[in-house]
Amino acid sequence: MSDVELYYFSGRGLAEIARILLTVADIQYKEVNLKTRDDYVNLLPDLLFQQLPLVRIDGMNLVQSGAIARYISGKAKLLGDSAAEAARIDMLYEGTRDFLKFFLFCGLEPGDKLAEIKEKAFPRYLPAFNKVLVESSSGYLVGSRMSLADLGLFEVLLATVDYFTDEPINEYPKLKAFYETMRTNEKIAKYISSVRKPKNDATLMETVRQVFTHVKI
């Protein structure tokens, strides 16, 4: 049995980057999907800020998705080869998180989220990341090999294809080539085929409501 455990809902949300990283890093883990209010209440002693996801790893109870992602990335050598590379990886990764926020509540909240993504997110982020790739000689965002920034961007591109097909990406040749390179990576292909959670739906929304309704925090 694995000593690493991931606690979240059976949805992508803020835990999907941890699933990607754990798979790419070849770290075996057990996933525990919360389904009831009691599941959450029982975890509260280990939730420093009363938030999910939670990853138990190396004797720690790690919360905050960014801290989780960086810790796993450090173990997997996905943070670059110098302080300068690490800083640039961090900068670009944070950009992918801003991009991802547009997708987090698709299917969970009223309103035309897809129109907002098309009108606000795509014009801001797709050309920016394509520009970084144009300036790269390796096909990756930073340095000569895959990093946390690449995996963060790929997560958002997968969501883009889910909701819009690959049409928005096709307008940017370097971004399209990057997407295809990442998609065909053996470990990432494993993540896509057997780990990745489905899009948000009514069942997930109801589960989230059940878990958080009437919880006194």
Residue 108: per-residue pLDDT: 79
- What is the reported pTM? 0.95
Query: What's the chain's Rg over C-alpha atoms?
Result: 17
Each residue's pLDDT tens digit in the chain (217 positions)?
469 999 999 999 999 999 999 999 999 999 999 999 999 999 999 999 999 999 999 999 999 999 999 999 999 999 999 999 999 999 999 999 999 999 998 987 767 899 999 999 999 999 999 999 999 999 999 999 999 999 999 999 999 999 999 999 999 999 999 999 999 999 999 999 999 999 999 899 999 999 987 544 3
Residue 109: per-residue pLDDT: 74
Q: How far is CA 96 from the centre of its chain?
A: 9
Structure tokens at 26: 């070849």
Residue 213: per-residue pLDDT: 75
Tell me the torsion sign for CA atoms 87, 105, 200, 32.
positive
